[in-house]
Structure 1
Amino acid sequence: MTDRTQDTPRRPGEPALTALGLAAPAPDPADASPHAFPGGGRWRTEVPSCEGPEALAVVLAEADRLDVPVHRISQGSGVWMLTDAEITEMAGATAERGIELCLFTGPRGTWDTGGSVRTDSGGAGPRARGHDALAGCVEDAVRATGLGVGCLLVADEGVLWTLHRAREAGLLPADTTLKLSALVGPVNPASYAVYEGLGADSVNVPSDLTPAHLTEIRRVSAAPMDLYIEAPDDLGGFVRMYEVAELIRRGAPLYLKFGLAKAPGIYPYGHHLREAALASARERVRRGRLALDLLARHGADGGMAPLGDRTPPRLKRFPPPSP
C-alpha cells in the first residue's frame, strides 16, 4: 500500500472536471459513517469463493505476488462439501497468516428438493427448509469450529439465531463469528438491524445499494458490512471500483469483497470444476490489486484495519428467549 499524500481523497477525474467547470459538489460530512473496526481502521478485505485447499494456495500465492493484503477468505459450497483433512489444511494455512477463514453452513433451499425456488418468485430462496436442514447447518457449524474454523457463513435467519444462541451457550467457541450471506442480504436499515440482533457479526448487503442507502444503515447499526466491489453475475454483475472510496466513507466498517463477474458458477464445487475455480481464484486477487491501486491513486488508501485482526465491534443482540 502506498502512503497517502493528500489530507482529503480526490474524486475520480476531479482535477480535469474542475478545470472544465464540472466539479462535483463537496461531500456532506454528515453522510460519513462514524464507525470503525475495534482494532482501528475502517475497511478490511475479503477474497470470496475459495472452494478448497488448492484454490486457497492459489489465492495466498497470488496475494503474495501482487502484494494484496487479505483479512478474510470465504467459501461458498459449504462445510459438507469438504473433508476433515481439507478443512484442517485450510484452517491451518489461514491461521499461519492471521487470515479469517469463513465456511458456508449446511443445506440451503436453492440446492434441496424444494421446487418453489425454481419458480419466477424464487420461493423461500436459500433458507434452510425444515428441521433436517436446520440440523444440517448446526452439524456443519459444530464440525467446522471443532476443526479450527473461526467464521461461519449463514443464509437463513433461523440458522443465524440458533448458532448465535449456541455460541452464547458455549456449544460453539465464544469467538466464533457469524457472517450473513449475500444471498439474503438486507436492503433497508430495519432489516439490517434485525440481522445484527439475531447474531450477525458482519452482514452482506446487495451490491446495488446506493451510497445513500449505506448511510441510512449506518445511522442504526455498527455491524460490519460486506460488499462486493465486483459482484458475481448471479448477484447482478455490478462493478463499482470507482466508488470504493465513497463506499468506505459511507459504509465503514466495511469488508471490500473482491468478486468476479463473467465467471462460471462453481457451487457446489468439485474437481470437475478445478480449472475454472483456480483461474477465477487467481483473478479475484488481481481484481483486489486493481481496487487497491485505485484507492492509492486517489489518496484514499489510508484507514485499512490491521492485518490479523478479526474482532467484530460490540453489537446489539436480541435477548435470549425465556426458558
Structure 2
Amino acid sequence: MTPRDTGQRSPVNASHVPRRPGVAALARIGHPSPGVDPADASPHSFPDGGTWRTEIPSVEGPEALAVVLAESLRLDVPVHRVSQGSGIWMLTDDEISGMAESCAERGIELCLFTGPRGTWDIGAATRTDSGGGGLRARGHDALAGCVEDALRATGLGVRCLLVADEGVLWTLHRLRAAGLLPDGTTFKLSALTGPVNPAAYSVYERLGADSLNVPSDLTLDHLTEIRRVSRAPMDLYVEAPDDLGGYVRMYEVAELIRRGAPLYLKFGLSRSPAIYPYGAQLRDLTLATARERVRRGRLALDLLARHGADGGMSPLGSRLPGPLRRFSVQEGD
C-alpha cells in the first residue's frame, strides 16, 4: 500500500505489529526501547469495527468548508467530520443548509456549536485569572438559547451538535429522548469542557454525550484509565490550538489510537491566532488555516502509513457511536 492508501484494515487481525518510531535504528546502537503492554490497548471500537476517524475543526462557514472539501480531495485526506466553533447563531439559515448539503454529498458529518456561552456574554468572571464558569451557559436565557440553536440547526439538516455545558447536554439529551430532536442527532462535548479523569468521562457519557473531547495534555496512561470505564468515542487534538496548549503529538498518533479507540483524530493548528467568533474580518486567516489543517491531517496519516499503523480506519460516512450508557430520563426531571 502507498502512504496515501488509508483503507480500512483490522488492527486485530493484522499479521504484523506496527513499527514504533526509531526502534530498529536505536537497537543497532544498543539503545533500549520500552516494551508495549498489550493490557494498555483499548478493547473498544466504533460500531463499524473501526478504531479511528478524522475530524477537521474550526470550519467556520461555507467558504471554509469549501476549502476543506477541495483540499481533502487534492491531498487524499479522508474526512469523517467537520466541526465549527463560532456557533450556530453566527450562521444564516442558508449558510447552515448549504453546509449540511455539501457535507451530505461527501458523507461527512457536520457538527455546529450551540448557543450563548460564558466567554462571550456579559459575565466578567470568565475574564479573571480563574476563568470563572468558562464556556458554560449562564442562566436560563443562555440555556434556552442553546435549545433554540439546537432546534433550528436540526431543522435545517444538522445532526451533530457541539456542547460546552453539562446542563445544556442533559437538556438536549432529554429533548432527544422525547423526540423533540431528530433520531440520530448526536452531541459532542467541547474541548474547553473536556473531562480529565475516568469518573468525569463516565458522567458526561451518561448525561448524553456521544463523543467527548479530552484535553490534549492527557497522558497515554490517562487514556487507558478512561477506556477501562467507558467506550464512548473520544475526540483528541493531535495538534492543539494555542488556547488549548499548542501541543503537537504527531509521533504518538498510533499509540493514541491503540490506547484511546474509538478515537477521532482532530487536526488543529498551533501558532495561529484565534478565529472565534468568525466574521469577514477574519476571512483570509480562516481560509488559510482551514487549508493547513487538512495538510496537517495528511502529515499524520502519512506517518501512520510509514509505521504500518494505518489500518482500522472507520469507513467514510460512518458517524454513529453505537450503544452508550445513560442516566435514566424521567418525566419531570
Asked whether the two chains share a fold, i.e. TM above 0.5, the reply is yes
1:24 Cα shift?
A: 1.3
**1:19 alignment counterpart:** 28
Q: Residue by residue, what CA displacement relative to the aligned partner does 1:115-174 show, whole Å, maximum 9, x if unpaired?
A: 000011001110000000000000000000000001000000000000000000000001
2:192 aligned with 1:183, yes or no? yes
Q: 2:37 aligns with which of 28, 32, 35?
A: 28
Identity %: 76
Letter in 1 for 2:139: G
> Any unmatched runs of 5+ in structure 1?
none
6 and 272 in structure 1: CA distance in 2 versus 1, 3 angstrom threshold: farther
Letter in 1 for 2:22: G
> Any unmatched runs of 5+ in structure 2?
none
1:264 Cα shift?
A: 1.1
Does the aligned pair in 1 maintain the 2:177–2:329 contact within 8 Å?
no
Q: 1:230 aligns with which of 219, 226, 239?
A: 239
Q: 2:5 aligns with which of 2, 22, 39?
A: 2
**1:76 alignment counterpart:** 85
Q: 2:132 aligns with which of 112, 123, 129?
A: 123
Counterpart Cα distance in 2 of 1:81 and 1:75? 10
Structure 2 length-normalised TM: 0.95
Q: 2:277 aligns with which of 240, 251, 268?
A: 268
Counterpart Cα distance in 2 of 1:7 and 1:320? 46
Question: Which 10-residue stretch deviates more, 196-205 or 310-319?
Answer: 310-319
User: Tell me, what secondary structure is at the counterpart of 1:182?
Assistant: coil
Q: Residue by residue, what CA displacement relative to the aligned partner does 1:45-65 show, whole Å, maximum 9, x if unpaired?
A: 000000000000000000000
User: Tell me, what secondary structure is at the counterpart of 1:45?
Assistant: strand
User: Tell me, what secondary structure is at the counterpart of 2:70?
Assistant: helix
Letter in 1 for 2:239: E
Counterpart Cα distance in 2 of 1:283 and 1:263? 11
Q: 1:198 aligns with which of 180, 189, 207?
A: 207
2:178 aligned with 1:169, yes or no? yes
1:25 Cα shift?
A: 2.3
Does the aligned pair in 1 maintain the 2:241–2:270 contact within 8 Å?
yes
Q: 2:301 aligns with which of 292, 298, 301?
A: 292
Q: Residue by residue, what CA displacement relative to the aligned partner does 1:265-289 show, whole Å, maximum 9, x if unpaired?
A: 1100001100000000000000000
Counterpart Cα distance in 2 of 1:142 and 1:135? 11
Letter in 1 for 2:26: L
1:21 Cα shift?
A: 1.5
Letter in 2 for 1:137: C
Listed as ranges, the matches of 1:48-87 within 5 Å are: 48-87=57-96
4+ residue runs of structure 1 moved beyond 4 angstroms?
3-6
